[in-house]
Amino acid sequence: MSDQRNLFGKIWDQHTVQTLPSGQSQLFIGLHLVHEVTSPQAFAMLRDRDLKVAFPDRTMATVDHIIPTDNQARPFADGLAEEMMSAIEKNCREFGVTLLDLADSRQGIVHIVGPEQGLTQPGMTIVCGDSHTSTHGAFGSISLGIGTSQVAHVLATQTLAIGEPKVRRIEVNGTLKPGVFAKDVTLHIIRVLGVQGGVGYAYEYAGDVFDAMSMEERMTVCNMSIEGGARCGYINPDQTTVDYLRGRPSSPQGAAFDKAAEWWLSLASGPGAEFDDRVTFDAADIEPTVTWGINPAQSVGVAEMLPTVDSFPEADRVGVAEAFEFMDLTENQPIAGQKIDVAFIGSCTNSRISDLREAAAIAKGRKVSDGVRALVVPGSQLVAKQAEEEGLDKIFTAAGFQWREAGCSMCLAMNPDKLVGNEMSASSSNRNFKGRQGSPTGRTLLMSPAMVAAAAINGCVTDVRELMA
Amino acid sequence: MSNIQTVIGTGVPLFLDDIDTDRIIPARYLRCVTFDGLGEHAFEDDREQTENHPFDDARFANGGVLVVGRNFGCGSSREHAPQSLSRWGIQAVVGESFAEIFFGNCTSLGIPCVCVSRDDAEQLAATVEADPAAEITVDLMAQEVRTGDKTVSCEMPESARTALTTGQFDFMAQLLEGQDATRTTADSLPYMSNFA
C-alpha cells in the first residue's frame, strides 16, 4: 500500500466494491446504525421491492430521537412518537435487525451506543441516517451521515454509491489552556473555516491537541465536522484508541484483539501521507467559545464582544444581520453576562461520562439560578448508570438540575423536551439553527458542558474559569 | 426511471446563505413513517416569521426552480427536506453551493441541484423577483441555466450529472447488481471475520 495514501484513502480503497456507471464508487459498509426517524421509509422501500436486509449482522438499531426522557411508559403520550416506535420494533423484528429498545440496558443515542459497545472500530466504513455519524470518525473510520434513500440502499446491499471527497488535514498544535474543552476546539475551527468551509472534504484532525485527547473528547470534535460542512471527520487510531476498545462487548477478544490492534494502527496516515489541503491552528489561540448566532460558525470567545455586521465580508452581512435580529442581540455587546432561561447538557456531542463529570465539577455545591430550567440528559443508559454510581446525578439534582433518561432530548426537540417561546438556551448540543430546540422562536447558545453548567449556576453566560477550583 | 436532462419552470427566489434543513422542514414534522404530506410544511417556521416569504407569495406558487445562495441544505441529513420541497413542487435547485448530504438526497430523488456563480445566482433571483412568469431552463446536457435572452453556465459533479441525464439515479438497482462483488470485498476485510 502506498505510503502516500492517508487513512481515508486506505480505508476507501479497501472498501471499494467497484466503480459504478456514473463514476461513483460502490463502497462496502462495515457497520450500519439505524434509528427510528430516518428508517421507516427505507424499510418501506425494501418491502416495495421485496428485498431483504443483506447483512443483518452488520446492522444495529436503537431509539433516541423521539423518546421522552421523563415518563417513558408505553404507549407514549405523543401518538406520532408511539407510531414511530412501533414501526421500528416491527421493522427490526421482520427484517432480523437487532434493536436496542428502551427495555435494553444498552439503549441510548446511536452515536454514544456504537462506540460504547465496541461496534465502532478503526478501519471500518460506518453509516447512519443521521448527519452526526461523523462522530465515529474519532476511531479512525470513514463515518458518513446519509439520507433515507441511501439507508434503503445500505439495508438492501450493504453498500453506498458515493464519490470520493478530498481530505484536509487540520492540525492543532500546542497545549489547550485550562477551561478550554474539546467543544471549544471544534467551535473554534468552525468559526475560522466557516460552516461551508468543509464542503467537498473529509477532515483529518491531527497534532498535539488531538493526540492528547481522550476518545470521548475526540468524538466531540468529529461529531461537529458536519457543522463545518465536511463530509466527515476522523482522527488516526493510536494507543488511546486501542485502550478504549479493549474489553468492549463487540471488540475482538483475546489473540484476535492483538491482531486487530495491529491492523488498526497500520491504517494511520504515515509521515509521507498526502493531503489535498492543510490548515494549522495554535492551541493557545483557543478560548472557551460561545455561539451567538444561528449557525455554529457565528461564535466568539467568552471574553469577546459580539462582532459588528460591517466587520463581515459584504456577502455575509445579510445573514449576520438576520442572526442578530433573530437572537435579539446587539453588535459590540459582551456575550458574558447574557441572560439565559434554559440550560441543556446532553446530545451526541456532549453527553458522555466525561462531559457529565466536567459539568458536575462546576455544579457541585452550587445552585441553579432562580428561573433557569436546567436539564442533564445522559447519552445512554450505561452513561446514566455510570454517572449514578459516581454520584453525579445527586450532585446535579442537589444543585437543581433535572436528571433525565437517555435520549436526544432538547438537541432537536422531536420529543417533549422543548424550548418555549423565545427562551434563550445555553446548550451543549451541536446546532443553534433557528427553531432547532423545538420552539420556532427559541434561541440557542452553543458551548461546552462545563460552560452550560456555569451558565445555569449564574443564570447568564459565564467564563467557566471563574468557577473552576 | 426517466432521464432528467432539462428542467423547465418558473422560479422561486430564495437568495439566502446557509439555509439548514431544520428550516426547510422543522423536526416536528419528522414524526412520521411516510413522506406524504410534507409539502405543505416546507419552510413553515420561516414563512410564519417572514412577511411575504416566497413560499407564501402567490406570484411564485407554481414555481419549479428554486434559486438559492451558498451552502443550501446544510445541517441534518433528513431526506424529509428534499421530499418536502419536491412535494411543494420544486423540480430543480440553482444556487452558489449545496451541502453534500442534501445534494445526494436530491440526486436520489431526481432533483438536480446545479451550482452557478454567486453573481449569477443573485441576478437570477432578481430576475425571478421582477418577472415571476419568466421561464427558467436548467439544461444538464449543455450545463447551462437559461432565462429570457440570458444564459449562464452551471456545474454539478459529473457523477450526479451522468446519473440524472442517463436516468440512472436509482442507485438501488446498480448496487444490487454488484452483490457478488460486494461479498468478495466483504470477505477481504479482516473485521468481517472478527480478526479470527
Q: What is the pLDDT of residues A321-376, one digit of tens each?
A: 999 999 999 999 999 999 999 999 999 999 999 999 999 999 999 999 999 999 99
Average pLDDT value for chain B: 97
Report the DSSP beta bridge partners of residue B68: B14
Compute the distance between CA of residue A294 and CA of residue A436 in angstroms, rounded to an integer: 9
Q: Which range is least confidently modeled, A3-7, A128-132, A362-366?
A: A3-7
One DSSP character per residue, A312-325 reads S-GGGHHHHHHHHH
| ipTM of the prediction | 0.97
Q: Which residues contact A286 (CB under 8 A, 6 or more apart)?
A: A172, A176, A177, A180, A184, A185, A188
Closest-CA distance, A363 to chain B, in angstroms, reads 31
Check A23 against B31: CB less than 8 A apart. Answer: no
Residues of chain B with C-beta less than 8 angstroms from the C-beta of A322: 16
Chain A residue with minimum CA distance to B23 = A434
Closest partner residue to B26 (CB to CB) among A199, A231, A435 is A435
- b/e code A24-33 from CB counts within 10 Å (16+ = b): bbbbbbbbbb
Mutation target among B29, B79, B158 for the A interface, most CBs of A within 10 A: B79
Compute the distance between CA of residue A426 and CA of residue A421 in angstroms, rounded to an integer: 15
Closest partner residue to A433 (CB to CB) among B20, B99, B178 is B20
Chain A residue with minimum CA distance to B165 = A22
pLDDT reading at B52 higher than 60:
yes
DSSP H or E segment with residue A281: strand A277-282
Residue A381: how many CB atoms within 10 A of its CB? 21
CA A366 from centre of chain: 28
C-alpha cell belonging to residue B175: 448496487
Mutation target among B165, B184, B195 for the A interface, most CBs of A within 10 A: B195
Compute the distance between CA of residue B29 and CA of residue B25 in angstroms, rounded to an integer: 7
What's the whole-model pTM score? 0.98
Alpha helices in A194-297 (DSSP H): 208-212, 215-223, 239-245, 255-266
Check A149 against B109: CB less than 8 A apart. Answer: yes
Closest partner residue to B45 (CB to CB) among A45, A84, A440 is A440
Check A44 against B101: CB less than 8 A apart. Answer: no
Closest-CA distance, A316 to chain B, in angstroms, reads 8
Check B175 against A152: CB less than 8 A apart. Answer: no
Compute the distance between CA of residue A451 and CA of residue A464 in angstroms, rounded to an integer: 5
pLDDT in tens, A222-231: 999 999 999 9
Instruction: Pick the closest to residue A228 from A112, A325, A137, A346 (CA basis).
Output: A137
Q: What is the dihedral of CA A276, B79, A121, A153, to 10 degrees?
A: -100
Proportion of chain A above pLDDT 90, given as a percent: 98
pLDDT in tens, A386-416: 999 999 999 999 999 999 999 999 999 999 9
Chain A contact for B182 (CB, 8 A cutoff): yes
Which domains occur in chain A, in start order?
Answer: 7-162 (3.30.499.10), 166-234+265-285 (3.40.1060.10), 290-467 (3.30.499.10)
Q: Are A437 and A344 in contact (CB under 8 A)?
A: yes
Instruction: Pick the closest to residue A223 from A65, A352, A121, A358 (CA basis).
Output: A352
Average pLDDT value for chain A: 97
Query: What is the per-residue pLDDT for A2?
Result: 54
pLDDT in tens, A23-46: 899 999 999 999 999 999 999 999
Query: What is the per-residue pLDDT for A3?
Result: 80
Closest partner residue to A131 (CB to CB) among B98, B101, B196 is B101
Report the DSSP beta bridge partners of residue A27: A16, A160
Domain boundaries defined on chain B: 6-168
Residues 77-116 of B with CB under 8 A from A: 77-80, 82, 97-101, 104-105, 108-109
Check A131 against B160: CB less than 8 A apart. Answer: no
pLDDT reading at A1 higher than 80:
no
Report the DSSP beta bridge partners of residue A279: A170
Check B195 against A257: CB less than 8 A apart. Answer: yes
pLDDT in tens, A277-302: 999 999 999 999 999 999 999 999 99
Check A157 against B178: CB less than 8 A apart. Answer: yes
pLDDT reading at B78 higher than 60:
yes
Compute the distance between CA of residue A130 and CA of residue B80 in angstroms, rounded to an integer: 12
Give, as one character, the DSSP assignment of residue A120: -
Please count the CA atoms within 13 angstroms of the CA of A168 that sit on its side-chain side.
Answer: 22
Compute the distance between CA of residue A349 and CA of residue A233 in angstroms, rounded to an integer: 14
Residue with cell 423536551: A417
CA B79 from centre of chain: 10
Q: How far is CA A325 from CA A82, A401, A451, B19, in A?
A: 37, 30, 24, 16
Average pLDDT of the segment spanning A71-88 = 96
Instruction: Pick the closest to residue A227 from A425, A432, A441, A32 (CA basis).
Output: A432
One DSSP character per residue, A344-383 reads EE-TTTS-SHHHHHHHHHHHTT--PPTT-EEEE--SBHHH
Closest-CA distance, B122 to chain A, in angstroms, reads 11
Q: Are A396 and A376 in contact (CB under 8 A)?
A: yes
pLDDT in tens, A86-96: 999 999 999 99
Chain A contact for B31 (CB, 8 A cutoff): yes
Chain A residue with minimum CA distance to B170 = A149
AA identity, residue A392: L
Alpha helices in A53-169 (DSSP H): 79-95, 110-117, 148-157
Tell the burial category of B58 from Cβ atoms under 10 Å away from its Cβ (0-12, 13-18, 19+).
Answer: exposed
C-alpha cell belonging to residue A379: 447519552
Regarding predicted confidence, which is higher, A2 or A140? A140
Compute the distance between CA of residue A225 and CA of residue A142 in angstroms, rounded to an integer: 12
Query: What is the per-residue pLDDT for A22?
Result: 85
Instruction: Pick the closest to residue A55 from A24, A17, A23, A104 (CA basis).
Output: A17
pLDDT in tens, B155-186: 999 999 999 999 999 899 999 999 999 999 99
In total, chain B counts a number of residues equal to: 196
Closest partner residue to B101 (CB to CB) among A26, A54, A145 is A145
Query: What is the per-residue pLDDT for A373?
Result: 98
Q: Are B85 and B111 in contact (CB under 8 A)?
A: yes
AA identity, residue A92: C
Chain A contact for B159 (CB, 8 A cutoff): yes
What's the CATH architecture for B6-168? Answer: Alpha-Beta Barrel (3.20)
Check A256 against B194: CB less than 8 A apart. Answer: yes
Closest-CA distance, B83 to chain A, in angstroms, reads 10
Check B176 against A157: CB less than 8 A apart. Answer: yes
Q: How far is CA A90 from CA A194, A325, B78, in A?
A: 42, 45, 22
Give, as one character, the DSSP assignment of residue B14: E
Residue A181: strand, helix, or coil: coil
Residues of chain A with C-beta less than 8 angstroms from the C-beta of B46: 434
Closest partner residue to A158 (CB to CB) among B32, B158, B182 is B182
Chain A residue with minimum CA distance to B157 = A163
pLDDT reading at A73 higher than 90:
yes
Compute the distance between CA of residue A406 and CA of residue A389 in angstroms, rounded to an integer: 16
Pairing of strands B150-153, B144-147: antiparallel
Closest partner residue to B32 (CB to CB) among A49, A80, A259 is A80
AA identity, residue A347: S
Q: Are B66 and B92 in contact (CB under 8 A)?
A: yes
Closest partner residue to B182 (CB to CB) among A28, A30, A124 is A28
Check A24 against B186: CB less than 8 A apart. Answer: no
